[in-house]
Amino acid sequence: MASPLTPSTTLRVRRRVRLAAACTSLLGLVGGVLGATTVTASPAVAANPVTPGNLTGFGFDQCEAPSQASMTRWMETSPFLAVGIYISGASRGCREQRNLTPDWVSTQLAQGWELLPITLGPQASCSPHFPRYGNDPTINPTPGPNSRYVAARAMGRTEGQRSVDAAKRLGIAPKSVLWYDMEAFDTGNTSCRESALAFVSAWNTTVKRLGFTTGLYSSAGSGLNAWDDARVERPGKYVMPQYIWFARWDEQANSSTSYLREDGWRPGRRVKQYRGGHLETHGGVTINIDSNWLEVGQGSRPLASRTKCGDVVVDLPTYGALTPGAKGKMVRALQCNLKMRGFYDAEVSGTYDRATGDAVTAYRRDRGMTGGRGWGRTGWIRMASEGDRPVLKFGSNGWQVRRVQRMLNATGLRQGDVDAHYDREVEAAVRRWQARIKQPQTGIVTEASWRAMSFGRGGA
């Protein structure tokens, strides 16, 4: 992808695998003429979620979509939750994309990855690096009648159709963000700049009309700077991208740069490529990547504590030992959890009575656990392990994160809100728990972590 250069410098040219679901993904329509045929997704891939969803966290992009084995390993060991993939465009560096199939897309989405589908088609006429192959067109810079750049707009409409067709063939869900990669160019060249703006404006119009969301990637100092100026100085002249992704290689994982005004594309519509091409190794797998910071959708954020069984608060800052005769909100949380699992039929009273003891005994017997009629940290940890076992890490959100927070609160290594938000504090607590149970201190919850939880490990 583009290097984050200013116009004055030399221009240089970016959950646990659910295999059963992923393997049902089929290529709905094979072949077809791009730009002429509208492609519809097959029923199987139509179930894929909109991407990206809500995320505040790290992502990467790489020229060729990595292998499935690499993606699985990086989900378990890297800090990343999003990946950029080149799905179309005659000027993209990796045209073959041997790994990129509908099954690959469905598997990554099921595994917990957010996808950033990229088109790298016709580039600005004054870019020194295009055409890349000689047969890939550049944007027509002819102003035409009334300087409307009609030829550039026609090219944008055609490329928009191609982007959507490619997304549908891969099972990218409607409303997902499709990104156009406009590499760095000389914004001081008027016809080059205006034709590029007209092209992307038409691409945006077409992609939106066909049911997807639009995003633009470019250098902060050239392409995105030009779009930001047009947004403020010439409102209404061009159809704006709904999301932006800018290259600014300052090694700062945030969503800001001096080249863009702070009021644009906020909240939740910015991605920053803060580090250019470099090798990274995670879990023994090395990939050449660019590093990105995402603030998209509603972001990764705390959510309100949950109640169950009517008005019972089950998300507590601490979970400790309970014995027959105990009373209070912790007893109510235990009774509610047992009721939801079918072991307790009595009133959620908050009193650890005989019925509660009987339910605890039945639960222990069913789960192959030892112990008497009391309840302790091991039981809370064991209970938190029940359910899906996705990989969770910094930036994750949702009810599975609540389970990890409950587990951590039960170990005594953390006392805090159960708010479904995997932030740095949760990551640090996971590392402390992993150290206690003698697992690698990655701060990432993997299958090995869930398995240890299922045995109630780390409670003392």
Return the SS3 of 287. Answer: strand
Q: Give one word for 428, left, alpha or beta, with left for phi > 0 and alpha for psi -120 to 50.
A: alpha
Spell out the residues 6+ positions from residue 198 whose beta carbon is closer than 8 angstroms to its own. Answer: 148, 149, 152, 153, 156, 238
pLDDT at 306: 83
**Mind listing the domains of the chain with CATH numbers?**
19-296 (3.20.20.80), 307-454 (1.10.101.10)
Q: Rounded to an integer, what distance in angstroms lies between the CA atom of residue 225 and that of residue 11?
A: 14
Residues in the chain, pLDDT under 50 = 3-44
Q: b/e per residue, 55-93, with b = 16+ CB within 10 A?
A: bbbbbbbbbbbbebebbbbbbbbbbbbbbbbbbbbbbbe
- Of 367, 422, 358, nearest to 395 by C-alpha is 422
For residue 267, say if its preceding peptide bond is cis, omega within 30 degrees of 0.
yes
Query: Model confidence over 186-232: pLDDT tens digits?
Result: 999 999 999 999 999 999 999 999 999 999 999 999 999 999 999 99
Cβ contacts of 314 within 8 Å, gap of 6 or more: 306, 307, 308, 333, 336, 337
Lookup: tokens for 19:
């295999």
What secondary structure does DSSP assign to 362-425, as a single string?
HHHHHHT----S-B-HHHHHHHHT-S----B-TT-BSHHHHHHHHHHHHHTS------SB--HH
Tokens of residue 282, six digits? 């995670």
Q: Are strands 269-282 and 243-247 parallel, antiparallel or unpaired?
A: parallel
Distance CA 116, CA 273 (A): 13
C-alpha–C-alpha distance, residues 271 and 277, integer Å: 16
Residues 222-250 as b or e (16 or more Cβ within 10 Å = b) = bbbbbbbebbeeeeeebbbbbbbbbbbbe
385-407 per-residue burial string, b: 16 or more CB within 10 A, e: under 16 = beeebbbbbbbbbbebbbbbbbb
- Output the pTM of the full model: 0.88
The Cα–Cα gap between 247 and 105 comes to 25
Query: How much is the pLDDT for 305?
Result: 85
Torsion sign (Cα): 297, 300, 306, 308: positive
Sequential DSSP letters for 93-113: S----TT-SHHHHHHHHHHT-
18: Cβ–Cβ under 8 A, 6 or more apart, which residues? 107, 110, 111
386-410 pLDDT per residue, tens: 999 999 999 999 999 999 999 999 9
With contact defined as beta carbons under 8 Å apart, do 292 and 82 qualify? yes
pLDDT at 46: 59
